[in-house]
A and B are shown apart, each in its own frame.
Chain A
Amino acid sequence: MTNPGLNFGLEYGFLEKIKTKSRTKRGTTLTKFKTKRLELNPTIGFYLDPGGHLGIFEKANIQYKKINNHRRTFTVAMGIGYYHSFIRNVYDANETLISENSGIKGSGYFAPEFKVGTGRVKVKNEKFKGWYLNASSQFLFDYNSTILPLPALELGLRF
């Protein structure tokens, strides 16, 4: 039911709005930050179904990220993508002949994505700049006779 995979991506912010709210309490001023960002989020990755096929995908999302005062993040992203499956041990058949295809074969599909996620960003000079957990789904168009969702859970680190 589940297959392991790896995903690499970039988050490039191109629009940012920071809201600050200051409050003075017993002579101390507390400042709260709320950040809203729009980011470009291109990713590339693969997953492996050991019994069947290898899936490779490329995605280009626009991501809306909200960071609260505790550096918790909430993201929603959507964008376009492409998915290609690779299979092996393929036998090409025509009306009369069978030939073993010694290479790899597969099909490519237009595959837009939608994802939501949460996580945390760190501000100090630490090894990782944060982590995230996303629930996403690509939608493979013209897959057989339908649109096939390809749900995924992504647990990741920000460098």
Chain B
Amino acid sequence: MKNKLLLFTSFLFMACESLELENYKQTIYVSFQGADMPVYLHGNASSEKIIVIIHGGPGGNGLQYRLGTWKDELEEKYLMAYWDQRGQGMSQGKNQSDLLTVSQMSADLDAVVRTLKSKFGQEKKIILHGHSWGGTIGTHFMVNPAYQKNVAGWIEADGAHDIPFLNTSAIELFEKVADEQISLGNSIDYWNKILDWVPGIDKYNISLEEGEEINTRGFEAEGTLADDGVLATSDGSLEDVKVLLFSPANQLSSLISGSSANNILTPEIETTALTDKLYLIEKPCLFLWGSYDFVVPKALGEDAFQKVSSTEKELIIFEQSGHSPMRSEPAKYTASVVRFIEKL
């Protein structure tokens, strides 16, 4: 019976796979400590390099990072592994609440890395790419020497590796940009309201609720800057709608699972500070940050660039970007990633 079911499912899923090396497309699952986590493989499997995408959120999903044009050249050159984290995206498992912790997800990422090496060969070079909350998990992974040894490089894009520092920096950025925009005559009412709001917050003692408000206002501020032409707009297209509609990531399931995971993880995240451990990172690093990122300000990128022990490291600031430079300045972003990876 089990074999019949296996044959049946294999036949049905076959059409969705392409095992041709240069145009590889396959979904695999990493089953680890109660969770079955999908890893969507797309791109060039003949390459010796695999980029693991660690999505943002918590509550996002890996395939959200296939939207836009930034991944096109990367999928041509390398194999991209879009991972759905535990309790998020299309990951499955029963009663995951107690396992939704930063250190568990760091261990999950290690299982993903080891799985990719086991499947494609131990000689493959794995490069981690963490965006936003993905920067928290990626950094947590990288400061563990036992995990770090399995990867060839670390790309942190607007990564939230120190939330107390993030909140303080965000308040400072709000003040600075508000003054700058008012002097330029842009959205004066909006920025005046920001200047009225900022003094009410003790930036060295930010509560959970204030942290969430900073996050919400951060996205709002980026929207205002985009409306005023200060930031480049996202490279969204009809292709994105197609990707979303036909994606194996069911957006409703992803949203519901993700919101629950977010609620559970938030109290831990708000106190997560990895700055003191950044010196443990020795592998080549690339830090990519939007200049107007209010959600995770560039101060974190500048600080991480200074503090990691890596001898090969680079920091690139995207002057027309906020929290997602891969969407607002995709050509420059991809070129930076390719340049970094080619040196590994």
A interface, CB within 8 angstroms of B: 1, 3, 48-54, 85-94, 98, 100-101, 103-107, 109, 142-146, 148-149, 151
Contacts and interface: CB of A to CB of B under 8 A. Distances in A.
Contacts of B2: 103-104
Contacts of A52: 27, 38, 90, 248
B95 A142 contact: yes
Interface residues of B, number: 50
Given A88-B10, A98-B115, A144 B93 contact: yes
B12 A103 contact: no
Interface of B: 2, 5-6, 9-10, 12-13, 15-16, 26-32, 36, 38, 40, 86-88, 90-97, 100, 111, 114-115, 118-119, 244-245, 247-248, 250-253, 256-257, 259-261, 264
B9 A90 contact: no
Nearest to B112: A93
11 contacts: A1-B251, A50-B13, A51-B247, A51-B248, A86-B5, A91-B30, A91-B118, A93-B114, A144-B96, A146-B257, A148-B256
Chain A contact surface mostly: strand
Contact of B6 (A48, A103, A144, A151): A103
Contact of B248 (A49, A101, A103, A109): A49
Contacts of A48: 12
B27 A51 contact: yes
Contacts of B245: 1
A51 to B, nearest CB: 3
Contact of A105 (B29, B88, B247): B29
A107 B264 CA distance: 22
Contacts of A107: 36, 92-94
B29 A89 contact: yes
Nearest to B100: A145
A78 B155 CA distance: 50
A88 B13 contact: yes
A104 B9 contact: yes
Contacts of A149: 252, 256
A3 B111 CA distance: 30
A144 B250 contact: no
B257 A90 contact: no
Contacts of B5: 86, 104
A146 B40 CA distance: 24
Residue of B26, B40, B96, B251 ringed by the most chain A CB atoms within 10 A: B96
A145 B26 CA distance: 27
A28 B307 CA distance: 96
B16 A98 contact: no
Contacts of B86: 144
Given A1-B245, A144-B260, 19 more contacts: A1-B244, A3-B250, A49-B250, A51-B248, A52-B248, A54-B12, A91-B28, A91-B31, A98-B114, A98-B118, A105-B31, A105-B36, A143-B257, A144-B91, A144-B93, A145-B257, A145-B261, A146-B256, A148-B253
A107 B31 CA distance: 11
A110 B118 CA distance: 34
Contacts of A50: 12-13, 15-16, 248
Given A50-B16, A51-B248, A148-B253, A93 B94 contact: no
Give 10 closest A-B pairs by Cβ, nearest first.
Answer: A51-B248, A146-B260, A93-B111, A98-B118, A52-B248, A145-B97, A93-B32, A89-B28, A144-B87, A91-B115
B115 A93 contact: yes
Contacts of B114: 93, 98
A137 to B, nearest CB: 11
Contacts of B252: 1, 149, 151
Given A93-B111, A144-B261, A104 B6 contact: yes
A100 B116 CA distance: 11
Contacts of B257: 143-146, 148
